[in-house]
Amino acid sequence: MIAITDLHHAFTIGKKGAERHMPVLKGVTLTVGQGEIAAILGKSGSGKSTLLNVVAGFMKPDSGSVHVAGQETTGLKEAAYARFRLAHFGFIYQNFQLMPGLTAFENIALPLKIKGIAKEERELKVLRLLQEVGLQDVADHYPNELSGGQQQRVSIARALVTDPPIILADEPTGSLDSETEADVLELIRSLNETWGTTFVIITHDDEVAAVAHRQYRLHDGELMKGEKRYVI
């Protein structure tokens, strides 16, 4: 489903005339199978977000390849990648990134609206998802009227509403207390089991990574495969 091969990337940092070349990804190779939950662990600054940004097509690597559902993606032009992204990926962020002026229902419906899906179909889909993530009673709440865990559930429902085969999650429980974190991780696990959605979760937290079928650790730009702790 996702095949990353020999990915290299370096950032150029510092003032003009005194630039430094800072390698961040040094030959990362990794495969994530369809229906798998993969966790990429690593300390702050280890390159996790850079790796996720390359997979999501938000930045081009210096070299190496990424195949998603058989398509080589690093060579795609921006407009083509935007279409590809919409069809293949949903995103979950640490800070939820909900639209403050839209209700939970409207936030979840937004990607469908952008895709031009008719109102009746949108409503059916959103109602089903609200139920799936346990938010049917707060559908008309605005984000500031929801707890952190509820906001993350809205953002998970929004990520899933277009049925993307892959969800890329950047520290999905980073803003939540440990009890709420456990609830959200359980939701991810059950959605993965029910729908077969592939999840790539980047995290610095071993407990979050424990939800994954496979764990990889980024260390100094290189990837080490972790133990396989959990198998469906």
Ligand X SMILES: Nc1ncnc2c1ncn2[C@@H]1O[C@H](COP(=O)(O)OP(=O)(O)OP(=O)(O)O)[C@@H](O)[C@H]1O
Q: Which residues bind ligand X (CB under 6 A)?
A: 11, 13, 24, 42, 44-50, 204
Min separation Cβ 44 and ligand X, Å:
3
- Return the number of the residue (54 or 185) whose C-beta is nearest ligand X: 54
Rounded to a whole number of angstroms, the minimum distance from the CB of residue 204 to ligand X is 5
- Minimum CB–partner distance for residue 21 and ligand X (Å): 11
Q: How far apart are CA 67 and CA 229, in angstroms?
A: 26
Q: Which of 71, 43, 158, 48 is nearest to 108 (CA)?
A: 158
Residue 28 or 161 having the CB closest to ligand X: 28
| Neighbouring residues of 150: CB distance < 8 A, sequence distance ≥ 6 | 104, 135, 138, 141
Q: 185 with 87: CB under 8 angstroms? A: no
Query: Minimum CB separation from ligand X for residue 18, in Å?
Result: 14
Q: Which is nearer to ligand X, 128 or 219 (CB)?
A: 219
User: Among residues 20 and 113, whose Cβ is nearest to ligand X?
Assistant: 20
Taking the complex as a whole, the smallest distance from the CB of residue 49 to ligand X amounts, in Å, to 3
Query: What three-state secondary structure class fits 187?
Result: helix
State in Å, rounded, how far the first CA of the chain is from the last one: 18
Relative to beta strand 20-32, strand 89-93 is unpaired
Q: Which is nearer to ligand X, 129 or 200 (CB)?
A: 200
Q: Which amino acid, 114?
A: I
Contacts 24+ apart (CB under 8 A), 123-126: 125/161, 126/157, 126/161
